[in-house]
């Protein structure tokens, strides 16, 4: 067992028993949850809240209708 496992989400070394989801190993349930969330082709997750940067850009340049 000389091989060290690394979390597929945060990249930290896994101590103890890993959480497995398919071929991936995670250090905790939180990383397993975040790692399994859906993303689109641009890397965006399924969250409905925009980042502060995106919100400020939207306010400065609202869509023209």
pLDDT in tens, 12-43: 999 999 999 999 999 999 999 888 877 666 66
Q: Mean pLDDT for the chain?
A: 81
Q: Residue 48's pLDDT is what?
A: 61
Q: What is the Cα 5 distance to its own chain's centre? A: 18
Range of the domain at 59: 1-65
Q: Residue 49's pLDDT is what?
A: 63
- Residues 35-50, buried b or exposed e (16+ Cβ, 10 A)? beeeeeeeeeeeeeee
Q: Residue 18's pLDDT is what?
A: 94
Q: What pLDDT digit, counting tens, does each position of 39-61 carry?
A: 666 666 665 666 677 778 888 88
Q: Residue 58's pLDDT is what?
A: 81
Domain count across the chain: 1
């Amino acid at each position: 067992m000389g091989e060290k496992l690394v979390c597929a989400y945060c990249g930290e070394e896994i101590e103890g028993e890993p959480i497995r989801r398919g071929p991936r190993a995670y250090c905790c349930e939180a990383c397993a949850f975040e790692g399994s969330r859906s993303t689109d082709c641009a890397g965006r997750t399924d969250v409905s809240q925009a980042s502060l940067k995106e919100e400020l850009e939207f306010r400065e340049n609202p869509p023209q209708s």
